[in-house]
A and B are shown apart, each in its own frame.
Chain A
Amino acid sequence: MKKICKQTLAALCLLGPFLLGTGQAEEQKPRTIAELVAKYDSSSCVDCHMNEYEQWHKSLHARSIFGPLEVGRTAATFITTIENGLKEWPYSGVNDPEDVGVKHLMVCAKCHLPQLQDAEDSVAKEIVQNLYAFAEDPYDEEIRDTLLSLNINCLVCHNRNAITHKWTDGYPDPKTVYGSKSGAHEDPLYPTMQESKIMGESILCGQCHGLGPNFELDNPTQCATLYGSHLFAYIPDGGTQTCQECHMRRSGLGHDMQAYRSPEMVKMALDIDVEANAFQWRDVNTMTPVANVLVEITNKAGHAIPDG
């Protein structure tokens, strides 16, 4: 099995052949981070889809429980969630970080790492240990790489989350990649290709880009609400473009889905017009020298700016 080991996948490449060789891992719920990573192992994709891989690797989807590289803001906020949220709430069942299980982390992982739902509590505990270890030593490469190995990768969008309406379209098949067409697929691990009805639709992104409070949780959280703004403000005003049209095609960024940090997106964001004039306003003997400044800002995006 030929494999290119990229930084974040390096650990996995060592374990990969061992874990993937045994068809059992699929039946059993992952019990370790390495097993969860192996279950959604996207390291083979890079061989044939180099462009998509390289673009994706630059996006925040590639570090979805870590956050922007220099900051690690998302990892830090997961800890705040445990310290100021879970531990403080009397009925959460969490007194210590060791008490955190999958259901507790799902308040964030619903969108930041949806595949955690398919894992044992031991994986949640291992994630929590790594989060605290990261807080103590943000420069430890091994801990960083472990946190970065958990992300929204190819198989999250092209398999796990590729079907929203499962009674209508069926459940995702573990040996299939979902895209815009059906047929044979060259990857021996994923030998078939199926059309996903939603790959080009906003709802694919809407699964994680939020509507408001997440009511299915015992203690609702709220982070991204941008899909709500797309549905209830952009569409009613006559907007017709999908997330993919703006973020992947018009921007030319493809799988490097970006926002305010990228000049391509900034250009597409606002039209700004500034008019200014100065004059003497006279009222009998009183002179009032003033300047009037008029700023007009038009939001050209498919949702409010900024998101909550």
Chain B
Amino acid sequence: MALYVTAKTLDGQVFYTNEKIYMPIPQQLGRGQKMGRGPYEKSGLIHDSALPPRKTTKESFMIPVYTESEEHGKTIRTQIAQDFTVNVEIWYLPYGKKDDPGNAQKWFAVTKNMHLPADQK
């Protein structure tokens, strides 16, 4: 399971992406810090980010809508856009990849239109 957050300008330029992966990471043969892959070598868990039942998992993303550059030793910020979109998608990826017709499932998608005040002091 994966959560994707993407911010785009109105002409389609992506200026921010982030993702969170939700899955158990099984241990290899019940020893050490290496992930086990096939069921024949999985035993135990080394980490688990799967969504627990009956619980609400909260994720927060702070998206910078600017770029930074150096000019004469000074940091200059340039606002990317006043209007842009933020897209949030949740995918179920049984084999770990999105491009997998019939298996990968898009469970949820929403696009929000965002507006910022002008970049003036």
Residues of chain A touching chain B, judged by Cβ–Cβ distance below 8 Å, are 68, 70-71, 73, 77, 80-81, 84-86, 107-108, 212-213, 219-223, 225, 229-230, 233-234, 237-239, 260-261, 266, 269-270, 272, 274, 276-280, 285-308
B121 to chain A, nearest CB (A): 7
Q: Are B53 and A239 in contact (CB under 8 A)?
A: yes
Q: Cβ of A71: which chain B residues have Cβ within 8 Å of it? A: 102-103
When each residue 29-70 of chain B gets 1 if its CB lies under 8 Å from chain A and 0 otherwise, what string results? 010000010111111110010111111111111111110000
- B38, A297: Cβ atoms under 8 Å? no
B24 contacts A304, CB within 8 Å? yes
A298 vs B57: C-alpha distance in the bound complex, in angstroms? 6
B54 in contact with A237 (CB, 8 Å):
yes
| Contacting pair A291 B40 (CB below 8 A) | no
Q: Bound state CA distance, A71 and B121, in angstroms?
A: 58
The tally of residues in B whose CB lies under 8 Å from a CB in A reads: 59
* Contact (Cβ within 8 A) B66 A220: no
Interface residues of B (CB under 8 A from A): 1, 3, 5, 7, 22-24, 26, 30, 36, 38-45, 48, 50-66, 77, 79-80, 84, 86, 88, 90, 92, 94-95, 102-103, 105, 107-108, 110, 112, 114-117, 119, 121
Is B64 in contact with A287, judged by CB distance below 8 angstroms?
no
Task: Sample 20 A-B pairs with CB under 8 A, ordered by A number.
Answer: A80-B38, A85-B38, A107-B40, A213-B43, A233-B53, A234-B54, A266-B105, A272-B108, A276-B114, A288-B77, A289-B79, A290-B63, A291-B65, A292-B60, A293-B86, A295-B60, A296-B58, A297-B3, A298-B56, A305-B1
A293 touches B44 (CB 8 A): no
List, in ascending order, chain A residues with CB within 8 A of B103's CB.
68, 71
Q: Quick check: A291 and B53 within 8 Å, CB to CB?
A: no
Find out whether the CB atom of A239 lies under 8 angstroms from the CB atom of B54: yes
CA distance A301 to B22 in the complex (A): 15
Taking the nearest CB of chain A, how far is it from the CB of B92, in angstroms?
4
Are A289 and B66 neighbours in the complex by a CB distance under 8 Å?
yes
Given contacts A272-B90, A278-B116, A280-B116, 14 further A-B contacts (CB under 8 A): A77-B39, A80-B38, A84-B40, A212-B43, A239-B53, A260-B94, A278-B115, A286-B77, A290-B62, A290-B63, A293-B60, A299-B53, A304-B24, A308-B23
Closest to A273 in B: B56
Question: B119 and A287: CB pair below 8 A?
Answer: yes
The answer to whether A274 touches B112 (Cβ under 8 A) is yes
Within the complex, the shortest CB–CB distance from A305 to chain B, in Å, comes to 5
| 8 Å CB contact of B107 from A223, A269, A274, A288 | A269
Evaluate contact between A270 and B43: CB separation under 8 angstroms: no
Whole-angstrom CA separation of A230 from B52 in the bound complex: 10
